[in-house]
Amino acid sequence: MTTSVMERGRLSVEDFISISQLRPEDIGQIYALAERVKASPQDYSRALVGKQTALIFEKPSLRTRVTFEVGMTTLGGHSIFLDHTKPRLGEREPIKDIAKNLERWVDCIVARTFQHEALTQLAEHASIPVINALSDLLHPCQALSDMFTLREKFGSKKKPLLAYVGDGNNVCHSLMLTVAKLGQVLRVATPPGFEPNEEIVREARAVAKTTGGEISHDYDPRKVVRGADAVYTDVWASMGQEYASHMRAQVFSPYRVTEDLMQAAGPDALFMHCLPAHRGQEVVGEVIDSDRSIVYEQAENRLHVQKALLLLLLRESDGS
């Protein structure tokens, strides 16, 4: 990151579509600010006065919508929710026209879409920051918050070993990219045919080589979780894949996170999930509702990390 960017308290990017865009220094800057915002939210209560954010959502949301709306409000700004479950982006009018209109009314676009291309088109045509609030390919805000949560648990000096068990989906993709940027270790276990995107795996491994991290994949969940500091899972059928739920339940049942699997990781291993969770499917209730579960801390930290992201993308300086 250049000195001028640091002085302005801004990121080295104008949009946040993927972890790929960020330098490790950017992530460090986001985390440092998130820690300050979490510790002293009152110091930032007027930081974004007069700023407006448009929330464009093609998919249902609890954590993402609430944390962005609360985040903008508690920073002194305002958010406008645009329900695009029907029609979806681009169906009523071109995405370019939506971007060109919104850039004249608001200061930022936060979008949750099915097709990742819809986000890249918004970013291409809008002169204001565009934030990826989830696409079928990536979920970068979630992964940033997850690794921030592990940082809180283990400290900034330790590099915890994270094991991911389940579908090689958007959360898995963003975790790989984030862990690689941070120079940490991620082991992934998926059923055959449900591996993460090959291009993203190659990118994450290439980045990991430069940061001292490690990204690996296997089909044996017990092998992957052995010695892990945290075990992460997600739903077996993501939004839009409900039609395949029955088939996926059969394929993924050996990858259910149970007490036995957590014991294979170790007695002190933490459990993580991005939520919503289906107890009895990808995880049993005894694990997600146990003391080792940090799922609600992950959810809380969505607010603090996204507030830091908004501040760094929208404010002129980092002074409070």
Q: Which are the catalytic amino acids?
A: 112, 139, 142, 234, 274, 302
Calpha distance 188→79 (Å, rounded): 36
Q: 75 near 44, Cβ under 8 Å?
A: yes
Calpha distance 86→13 (Å, rounded): 31
Q: Give which of 72, 146, 77 is closest to 301, Cα–Cα.
A: 146
- The answer to whether the bond into 276 is cis (omega within 30° of 0) is yes
DSSP reduced 3-state for 240: coil
Q: 165 near 269, Cβ under 8 Å?
A: no
CA distances from 224 to 80, 161, 306 (A): 42, 10, 30
Maximum Cα–Cα distance across the chain? 55
Q: Count other Cβ atoms within 10 Å, centred on residue 280.
A: 9
The neighbouring-strand residues paired with 131 are: 16, 110
